[in-house]
């Protein structure tokens, strides 16, 4: 059945990729223009654009951060990288709240209950501060909230474990406000293999995982390919009827061998099917030297956890890891994050890249000049300095992601009308 449908699609796919590359070449001519404006003028312009265009970010781990230590994010907080004050300063309007569920819950149970509690937490923030925050289940709702001066809190679920092997839970979480699902996290699960796991349980998607992708298409949840193995990615791209996102991934071109990032071939295929890669800001994602140091740090942490007979979720582990990482992390620079955006544009064009910071998730590995949600203007400044146009900036800030989000919703609507 698969081979019958695959054969006629091959030339179409090649044609799509070719068209994408041609458009990328045209777009790159825009981004290599030199600018005559001074740095001060460009910084002022960057700040103005950050507060003129809607900025969405594909992945911010606020809920899990607050689960460990509750803070009032309507005020400037002492910890973390996100709060209302700094978000407004940086022009952030629609950060996707990550409903993160650790892979450990795949063994212990309770994944769905944890996801529900984190969703409830996000809802409570909007109810406690209705003048500052609001839920958003579509780009249209984000725009409505923006016009009212509110920060939207759309939600994406990191790890499909909370589906708990029940297909009906895809619709359940859609109704709860989940608008993307990262299929797995640090370990293989019942949906697919993880880029961080060497077990290769399914060599890609499981039979159940293929049904999950189809059901996500049907209900209107974006498929997020961050964290999944390369084989799983290519199977998703073959099966999904809707464009997909990588909510917080960067380019493997700069970090050879790091499967968590995307290869050039993967980025081209993602774009050919209309998807978007949202660049992760973490130093270990954008810089090979930082990546190598990160690997050493991870080995040290794994050894330390084993020597002390602790669970990875033990609070002692988090406290020790925070201090150890601060002392042993090699930091990159905001300009390197701009390099990743440049690389995507050179490969496939301006329409397929966005922001996916991983704020509150990568902690002390954030690069210099991009350490919390107040710094988006600094990244925009570096893009303007490289000759990106205002239209380019608008697309990167939100238009590209909104296009995918709307198309996923439209495909779901058409699918439901046919059934």
pLDDT in tens, 58-67: 999 999 999 9
- 326 band by pLDDT with thresholds 50, 70 and 90: confident
pLDDT, position 314: 85
Model pLDDT, residue 318: 82
Higher pLDDT, 30 or 115: 115
Q: Which of 68-77, 298-307, 386-395 has the lowest mean pLDDT?
A: 298-307
| 49 lies in some domain | yes
CATH of the domain at 109: 3.20.20.140
Mean pLDDT of 169-174: 98
pLDDT higher than threshold 50 for residue 319? yes
With respect to residue 358, please indicate whether it lies within any of the assigned structural domains.
Answer: yes
Which pLDDT does position 4 carry in this prediction?
A: 27
Per-residue 3-state assignment (H helix, E strand, C coil) for 301-337: HHHHHHHCCCCCCCHHHHHHHHHHHHHHCCCCEHHHH
Which pTM was predicted? 0.89
Segment 77-98 mean pLDDT: 97
Is the pLDDT assigned to residue 120 strictly greater than 80? yes
Average pLDDT over the chain, rounded to an integer: 92
Q: What is the pLDDT of residue 363?
A: 83
Interval 218-243 mean pLDDT: 98
331-381 tens-digit pLDDT: 999 999 999 999 999 999 999 999 999 999 998 899 999 999 999 999 999
Paired sense of beta strands 222-224 and 178-182, if any: parallel
169 is a domain residue: yes
Q: Of 9-18, 206-215, 270-279, 358-367, which range is least confident?
A: 9-18
412: Cα separation from own chain's centroid:
21
| Tokens encoding 390 | 């205002």
For 40, counting Cβ atoms within 10 Å of its Cβ (0-12 exposed, 13-18 middle, 19+ buried), the class is: exposed
Picking from 209, 272, 241, 271, the residue whose alpha carbon sits closest to that of residue 5 is 241
Give the model's confidence band at 282: pLDDT under 50 very low, under 70 low, under 90 confident, else very high: very high
pLDDT band at 29 (very low <50, low <70, confident <90, very high): very low
Look at residue 325 and tell me if it is in a domain: no
Residue 283, judged by CB atoms within 10 A of its CB (0-12, 13-18, 19+), counts as: buried
For residues 69 and 22, give the distance between their C-alpha atoms in angstroms, rounded to a whole number: 49
Residues 6 or more apart from 111 whose CB is under 8 A from it?
101, 105, 159, 161, 162, 164
The reported pLDDT for the residue numbered 17 is: 44
Confidence bin at 21 (pLDDT 50/70/90): very low
> What Cα–Cα distance (Å) separates residue 153 from each residue in 117, 119, 127, 139, 225?
16, 11, 12, 11, 21
Q: Which domain holds residue 281?
A: 2-287+330-418
Question: Bridge-partner residues for 180, per DSSP?
Answer: 156, 222
pLDDT band at 383 (very low <50, low <70, confident <90, very high): very high
3-class DSSP state for residue 418? helix
Domain count, the chain: 1
Is residue 5 scored above 70 in pLDDT?
A: no
Residue 301 within a domain:
no
The predicted structure's pLDDT at residue 336: 98
Q: Please provide the size of the chain in residues.
A: 419
Helix H or strand E segment including 207: helix 207-219
Question: In this predicted structure, what is the pLDDT of residue 100?
Answer: 98
Residue 123 maps to a domain? yes
Strands, DSSP E only, in 61-194?
Answer: 92-100, 133-134, 151-152, 155-158, 178-182
What are residue 251's phi and psi, to 5 degrees? -95, 125
Distance CA 80, CA 76 (A): 10
Residue 232 above 70 pLDDT? yes
106-118 pLDDT per residue, tens:
989 999 999 999 9
What is the predicted pLDDT for the residue at 134? 98
> SS3 breakdown of the chain: % helix, strand, coil, rounded to 5?
55, 10, 35
- pLDDT above 80 (res 125): yes
* Band of pLDDT at residue 34, cut at 50, 70 and 90: low
Structure confidence at residue 419 (pLDDT)? 74
pLDDT at 2 over 80: no
> How much is the average pLDDT of 79-83?
96
Is 408 contained in some domain? Answer: yes
Give domain status of residue 303, yes or no: no
pLDDT at 386 over 70: yes
Question: Residue 10 — pLDDT band, cuts 50, 70, 90?
Answer: very low
Alpha carbon of residue 63 to chain centroid: 15
Q: Tell me how far apart the alpha carbons of residues 348 and 162 are, in angstroms, rounded to a whole number.
A: 34
């Amino acid at each position: 059945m698969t081979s019958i449908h695959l054969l006629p699609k091959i030339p179409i796919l090649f044609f799509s990729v070719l068209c994408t590359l041609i458009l990328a070449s045209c777009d790159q001519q825009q981004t290599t223009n030199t600018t005559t404006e001074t740095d001060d003028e460009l910084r002022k312009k960057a700040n103005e654009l950050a507060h003129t265009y809607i900025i969405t970010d594909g992945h911010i781990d606020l809920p899990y951060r607050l689960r460990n230590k509750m803070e009032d994010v309507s005020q400037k907080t002492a910890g973390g990288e996100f709060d209302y004050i700094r978000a407004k300063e940086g022009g952030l309007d629609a950060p996707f709240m990550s409903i993160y569920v650790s892979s450990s819950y795949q063994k212990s149970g309770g994944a769905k209950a944890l996801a529900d509690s984190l969703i409830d937490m996000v809802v409570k923030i909007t109810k406690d501060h209705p003048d500052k925050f609001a839920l958003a289940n579509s780009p249209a709702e984000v725009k409505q909230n923006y016009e009212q001066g509110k920060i939207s809190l759309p939600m994406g679920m990191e790890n499909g474990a909370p589906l708990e092997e029940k297909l009906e839970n895809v619709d359940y979480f859609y109704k709860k406000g989940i608008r993307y699902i990262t299929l797995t996290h640090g370990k293989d699960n019942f949906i697919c293999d993880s880029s961080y796991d060497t077990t290769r349980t399914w060599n890609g998607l499981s039979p159940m995982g293929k049904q999950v992708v189809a059901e996500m298409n049907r209900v209107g949840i974006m498929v997020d390919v961050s964290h999944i193995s390369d084989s799983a990615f290519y199977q998703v791209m073959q099966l999904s009827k809707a464009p997909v996102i990588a909510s917080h991934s960067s380019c493997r071109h700069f970090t050879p061998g790091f499967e968590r990032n995307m290869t050039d071939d993967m980025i081209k295929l993602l774009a050919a099917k209309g998807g978007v890669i949202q660049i992760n800001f973490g130093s270990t994602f954008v810089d090979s030297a930082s990546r190598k140091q990160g690997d050493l740090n991870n080995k040290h942490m794994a050894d330390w956890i084993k020597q002390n007979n602790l669970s990875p979720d033990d609070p002692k582990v988090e406290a020790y890891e925070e201090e150890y990482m601060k002392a042993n992390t090699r930091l990159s620079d905001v300009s390197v994050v701009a390099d990743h955006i440049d690389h995507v544009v050179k490969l496939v064009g301006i329409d397929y890249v966005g922001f996916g910071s991983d704020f509150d998730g990568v902690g002390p590995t954030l690069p210099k000049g991009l350490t919390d949600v107040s710094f988006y203007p600094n990244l925009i400044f570096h893009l303007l300095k490289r000759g990106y146009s205002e239209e380019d900036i608008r697309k990167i800030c939100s238009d590209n992601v909104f296009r995918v989000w709307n198309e996923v919703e439209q495909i779901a609507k058409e699918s439901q009308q046919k059934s």
